[in-house]
Structure 1
Amino acid sequence: MSRIQRCFKSLASAGFFRIQDGKTLELISHGREYAKLLQHHWLRLRPLAAHVGAISNSSSTTNAQRFSFPKSQQFRANFQELLEVHPRKAKCPTLLKHQNTCSSSDSNPLFTVRSPATLLTTDFLVEPHRALEHFYNIQRESKIWWMRVSSNPIRYRIVPCELGDDLNPKNYQAIDIRSSYGDAEEVTVEQLSLVKFDDDKNFLLPDARTGESVQPTVIRSVIELETSTCALLLDGCDHSRDAQSLLLNRVLSPYQCGIACVESESELSEDLADLCLHLKHVINHAGLRLCQGSGFALTKDASKLTEHLLESDMLGVPYTLVLNEQTLKNGLMQLRSRDTRLAEAIHISDVPDYLLNIFKN
């Protein structure tokens, strides 16, 4: 079994996706939670964007559609919505964000994702004389974003796409941002395309600097959410560690914290359970995502605790609070890190501020 196949098996057993026909992936439970967080992170990216267009269905994306989208009914409706609903943002340069569903792409050799797929699309409307400058800047920004949300930043590279003889490079450009998994091929996580408008008086915006009407050039970014989610999950699982664990970005992990308790003395088990419930309430109130189920695990011995921590590692939980009978006496507990597998002592009064500072920084 190859390294990547072992990762697929581990992620499937942990409840992130199910595998159909050996290659088709379908997100389930934990995988869907991770996809929602990635989608929310994309929504907060570039906050000055105008959000337009409701989620709708469309056909699958093709290379031809990468360059023909300015003629589509959806693009025209989004442009009109920009003028009518967001007049203050209707200047050049500006950007639009919208989402829609489509048939999933089968262009990735490593795996395919079960349809329908969610497309996260950003349209940059830029000054035509600075279009290439914007295009190169957006490439760099996008690649840096993928590197930041990944556990292995060196996976990502920018790959120029062939345009074909019928397209003029002065009017069209295209690149893919791909995540590499060594001999196991690559996955396209984002497509960037530049299209220069034909003369069309219906697509004019005032230049933000001069106020003069210009016909903007469009740079479109498209992220297929489910494919990118699976790529990032695979990235977090494909590492050189001996033990299995999922090294997800701690801000985007479906669960940020867990609670584990070792109750060796039965007469104290009720008090420890109450303390766990209190910590669960405190952590939830702070807005941190607690591990699934009851939010805490009660174990009888060290071996069961180790087993629980390994399960938490495979869910990508960055930190686990470990309590025992001594916690009831002195308020001290262990904060165990998924990444280092080391633990440090913290006082119950430092929860959740200590954790919030970790995730903030």
Structure 2
Amino acid sequence: MSRIQRCFKSLESAGFFRSHDDNILELLCHGKEYAKLLQQHWLRLRPLAAHLDDSIQTISPSNLHRFSFPESQQFGNNFQKLIKDHPRKAKCPTLIKHQSLSSSPKVNPLFGVKSPATLLTTDFLVEPHRALEHFYNMQRESKIWWMRLSSNPSRYRIVPCDLGEEYNPKNYQAIDIKSSYGEAGDVTVEELSLVRIVEDNGYRLSDARTGEFIQPTVIRSVIELETATCALLLDGCDHGRDAQSLLLHRVLAPYQCGIACVEGESELSGDLADLCLHLKHVIHLAGLRLREGTGFASAKNTSQLKDHLLESDMLGVPYTLVLNEQTLKNGLMQLRSRDTRLAETIHISDVPDYLLNIFKN
């Protein structure tokens, strides 16, 4: 069994996705939670954009070339929404963000995703004479964004697309950002396309510098959410370490913290459970995401604790608080890291500020 196949099985057994016979992946509970957090992270990217998210339409992108979107009804409607709903942002350059559903998701060499797929689209309307400058900047910004989310930043690369003889490079450009998994193949996580609108079809905005009305060039970024989610999950599993774990970005991990208590044979197990419930409440109030269910696990011995921590590692939980009966006496507990598998001692009074500082930085 190849390394990538083992990753697929690990992610499937952990409840992130289900693989069908035709190598089509369907996100399950943990995978859907991760996709939701990735979507929220995308919404925060380029915060000055106008968000056009009143209604999410289903489209069939297979019927459209990647350069033909300015001719679509969806683009025309979004342009009118920009002018009507966001008049202060209706200047060039400006950004439009919108979401839609694709009835025919793209199939990558490693996998496809179940239909419909969510498309996260950013349209950057820029001055024609600065279009290539903006295009190269957007490539660099997008690649850095993916690298920051990855456990292995070196796997991301920018791949130019063959335009064909019918497209003038002055008016059209296209690149894909791909995530490489060695001999297993690549996955396209983002498509960037530049289209200069030549015909006068009413798409005019005032230049933010000169005030002159111009017909902008459009740089479009498209991310297929479910495909990107599966690619990042695979990236977090395919880290080459001996230890079994899912190295998800701390901010995007579905569950950021876990709580485990080692009860032993002590009569204080009830008090330990109460303390765990208190910590669960404190962490929830701080806005950190705890593991599902009760939010904490009880172990009778170190062997059970080890099994629980292994399960947490496969769910990508970055940190676990480990309590025992000594915690009831001196307030000290262990904060165990998923990435290093090492633990440091902290005091109960440092929770949650200590954790919040970790995730903030």
TM band (smaller chain): over 0.9
1:81 deviates by 0.5
Paired residues, number? 360
CA distance in 2, matches of 1:228, 1:201: 34
1:265 deviates by 2.9
CA distance in 2, matches of 1:291, 1:347: 21
CA distance in 2, matches of 1:194, 1:315: 39
Aligned to 2:310: 310
1:241 deviates by 1.2
Aligned to 1:60: 61
1:65 deviates by 2.6
Aligned to 1:339: 339
Where do 1:115-264 residues align within 5 Å? 115-264=115-264
1:240 deviates by 1.4
Contact 1:104 1:113 in 2 (8 A): no
CA distance in 2, matches of 1:244, 1:104: 34
CA distance in 1, matches of 2:200, 2:87: 20
1:267 deviates by 1.1
Secondary structure of 2:61's match?
coil
> Counterpart amino acid of 2:35?
A
Matched, 1:46 2:11: no
1:22 deviates by 5.3
CA distance in 2, matches of 1:314, 1:184: 22
CA distance in 2, matches of 1:342, 1:13: 25
Contact 2:105 2:116 in 1 (8 A): no
CA distance in 2, matches of 1:280, 1:319: 14
CA distance in 2, matches of 1:108, 1:100: 20
The superposition leaves residues 276-329 of structure 1 with CA deviations (integer Å, 9 ceiling, x where unpaired) of: 000000000000000111100011000000000000000000000000000000
Contact 1:108 1:186 in 2 (8 A): yes
Contact 1:14 1:314 in 2 (8 A): yes
> Counterpart amino acid of 1:56?
Q
Secondary structure of 1:67's match?
coil
CA distance in 2, matches of 1:319, 1:210: 52
CA distance in 2, matches of 1:19, 1:60: 24
Secondary structure of 1:267's match?
coil
Secondary structure of 2:106's match?
coil
Contact 2:255 2:291 in 1 (8 A): yes
Contact 1:70 1:197 in 2 (8 A): yes
> Counterpart amino acid of 1:349?
S
CA distance in 1, matches of 2:201, 2:170: 21
Aligned to 1:279: 279
CA distance in 1, matches of 2:269, 2:83: 63
1:201 deviates by 4.8
1:52 deviates by 1.2
Contact 1:98 1:121 in 2 (8 A): yes
Contact 2:194 2:220 in 1 (8 A): yes
Contact 1:15 1:30 in 2 (8 A): yes
Contact 2:127 2:216 in 1 (8 A): yes
CA distance in 2, matches of 1:148, 1:225: 17
> Counterpart amino acid of 1:129?
H
The superposition leaves residues 144-176 of structure 1 with CA deviations (integer Å, 9 ceiling, x where unpaired) of: 000001111000000000111211111100000
CA distance in 2, matches of 1:318, 1:46: 27
Contact 1:335 1:346 in 2 (8 A): yes
Secondary structure of 2:260's match?
strand
Aligned to 2:101: 101
> Counterpart amino acid of 2:260?
A
Where do 1:12-91 residues align within 5 Å? 12-21=12-21, 23-53=23-53, 54-61=55-62, 64-91=64-91
> Counterpart amino acid of 1:199?
E
TM-score computed with the length of structure 2 as normaliser: 0.98
CA distance in 1, matches of 2:287, 2:103: 35
CA distance in 2, matches of 1:201, 1:165: 25
The superposition leaves residues 79-104 of structure 1 with CA deviations (integer Å, 9 ceiling, x where unpaired) of: 00100110000000000000000124
Secondary structure of 2:7's match?
helix
RMSD after superposition: 0.9
CA distance in 2, matches of 1:16, 1:201: 45
1:107 deviates by 3.5
CA distance in 2, matches of 1:329, 1:204: 70
> Counterpart amino acid of 1:30?
H
